[in-house]
């Protein structure tokens, strides 16, 4: 079982996140219009998954806005998702207010498939039940090519490392 910290205090996670080299587990999610889809619906594209506790926090908002800006040059070969257990209404409102166009908000509130399949659910502490901050980059054939569990939930991920992997994968399509 993995753990991370929240403001320096250890919190437990559901398990170990899937590493690079593994086949990405499929999961069902709820889109902004309340329809459902799954990761494998996007086969043939590079997929970036930004898991986070809530778009209503400063770090989560900053991460989403930063990836939105960094990914604008990649076009239709890439699909970037920000996933949390926030309700789709709140996520959609955030994205519209902030002008987020290159990141699609998806919610894990209905089934919790992502939390279960990727072992990113926080099991204790004040954020119990939410997703921990992590980044997964999945190639067009659903292999995880980058897996980052951010050790301190209030910190941002390694943008430069993620973008390098994305650039390499997009060139291969």
Catalytic residue numbers read: 60
Residue 91's SS3 state is helix
Q: Measure the CA–CA gap between 50 and 60, rounded to whole angstroms.
A: 9
Estimate to the nearest angstrom the gap between the alpha carbon of 102 and the chain centroid.
Answer: 13
Beta bridge partners of 43: none
**Residue 60 CB coordination number (10 Å):** 24
Q: Mark 70-96 as b/e (b = at least 16 C-beta within 10 Å).
A: bbeebeeebbbbbbbbbebeebbebbe
Q: Measure the CA–CA gap between 163 and 168, rounded to whole angstroms.
A: 9
Tokens of 159: 């943008």
Estimate to the nearest angstrom the gap between the alpha carbon of 113 and the chain centroid.
Answer: 13
- Rounded (5°) CA angle 113-114-115: 95
């Amino acid at each position: 079982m993995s753990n991370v910290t929240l403001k320096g205090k250890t919190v437990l996670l559901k398990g170990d996140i899937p590493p690079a080299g593994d086949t990405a587990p499929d999961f069902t999610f709820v889109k902004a219009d309340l329809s459902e889809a799954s990761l494998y619906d996007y086969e043939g594209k590079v997929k970036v998954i930004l898991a986070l506790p809530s778009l209503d926090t400063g770090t989560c908002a900053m991460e989403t806005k930063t990836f939105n800006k960094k990914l604008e040059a990649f076009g239709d070969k890439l699909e970037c998702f920000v996933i949390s257990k926030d309700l789709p209404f709140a996520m959609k409102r955030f994205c519209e207010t902030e002008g987020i166009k290159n990141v699609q908000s998806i919610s894990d509130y209905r089934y919790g498939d992502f939390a279960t399949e990727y072992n990113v659910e926080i099991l204790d502490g004040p954020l119990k039940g939410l997703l921990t901050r992590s980044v997964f980059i999945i190639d067009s054939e659903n292999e995880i090519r980058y897996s980052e569990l951010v050790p301190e939930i209030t910190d941002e991920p390694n943008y430069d490392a993620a973008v390098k992997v994305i650039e390499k994968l997009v060139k291969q399509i």
